[in-house]
Amino acid sequence: MPNRASELVWDKTKPAPGRKLNRDVVVGAAIALADREGLNAVSVRRIATDLGVRPMSLYTHIATKDDLVRLMVDEVVGEIIVHEELPEDWRAALGRIAHSSHTALAAHPWMLQASTRPGTLGPNALRHAEQLIAAVAPLQLDPADAWAVAGIVNDYTLGHALRIAHPAADTEQQRYPTVDPAIFPHLARALRARTPDRDDATFTVGLDTVLDGIARRFAHPGQ
C-alpha cells in the first residue's frame, strides 16, 4: 500500500523564494554535498552546518531524509529533461536526450545510487519518461516496442554513466597497476590510449552503435 506521507513530498507548496531558508535551498545544499562527498555524507545535521542554521529548522521544509533524497533525485532529473523542442527525427531526438542524461549523471554520480531507492519516481521522472516515448513516436511502434526502444537507450546511458561514475577512486591504473606489455600487449596498448576525455567519445560511439541497431531492428526490419 503506498505511503501517503511520502507521496505528499511532491504536493508540498514551495515557500516564497525570497526567504533565506526554503525547500529549494535545502535541496540545493544537499545536492552540492552529495556531489562533493557522495550520498552517504548527506544528513540533516551536515546540511544544517553547511547552511549555517539549526538542524531542527530544516524539518520545516523536509520531513525525512528519504523525502530529501526523493527531492534531490527529482531535481537532477529536471536537468536531464530537454527543454527546447526535440528534433523530429527519432534518432536525433533520442541522441539529444541520451547526451543530456549522460551529462547530468556524470555531474551527479550519486544519482545512480539514489535513483534505485523506492519512491523516487517523481514528477520530473514522469516527464523524462514521457519525453523518451515521444522521441520514439516517429517510428510508429506498438507500445511494447516503443517502451523497449526507450529502455534500451536509457539502459545504455545509465550503464556507461555507472562505469565512469567514480574515476578518481577506480582508474585503470589502479585496477591494472602491473600490466606487463610482453604478456598482455593488447590490454597494455588500450590502457595507454585511455584518457578521461575519451569517456565522452566512447559514449558517443556506443550510443551510435545502439541507435544503428534500433534502426535495423525497428526502423528497417528485415534489412
Instruction: Supply the DSSP symbol for 41.
Output: G
Return the pLDDT at 10. Answer: 64
- Of 108-122, 139-153, 167-181, 205-219, the range with the lowest mean pLDDT is 167-181
213 part of a folded domain:
yes
Q: pLDDT of 72-87, one tens digit each?
A: 999 999 999 999 999 9
86 part of a folded domain:
yes
If pLDDT is split at 50, 70 and 90, which confidence band does 201 have? confident
Residue tagged 565522452 (cell numbers)? 200
109 part of a folded domain:
yes
Domain total in the chain: 1
pTM: 0.82
Q: pLDDT of 34-59, one tens digit each?
A: 999 999 999 999 999 999 999 999 99
pLDDT tops 50 at residue 3: no
Q: Phi and psi at residue 11, in whole multiples of 5°?
A: -95, -10
pLDDT tops 80 at residue 216: yes
pLDDT tops 70 at residue 147: yes
66 part of a folded domain:
yes
**Averaged pLDDT for residues 15-42:** 87
Q: Using CA of residue 134, residue 137, residue 143, residue 146, what is the dihedral sign? A: negative
158 part of a folded domain:
yes
223 part of a folded domain:
no
Q: pLDDT of 163-183, one tens digit each?
A: 887 654 455 556 666 778 888
Mean pLDDT of the chain: 85
Burial grade of 45 (CB within 10 A; 0-12, 13-18, 19 or more): exposed
Return the pLDDT at 136. Answer: 96
- CATH number of the domain where residue 29 is located: 1.10.357.10
Domain that holds residue 60: 4-218
Return the pLDDT at 4. Answer: 43
Residue tagged 516515448 (cell numbers)? 133
54 part of a folded domain:
yes
- Report residue 77 as a C-alpha cell: 532529473
Return the pLDDT at 2. Answer: 43
210 part of a folded domain:
yes
pLDDT tops 50 at residue 107: yes
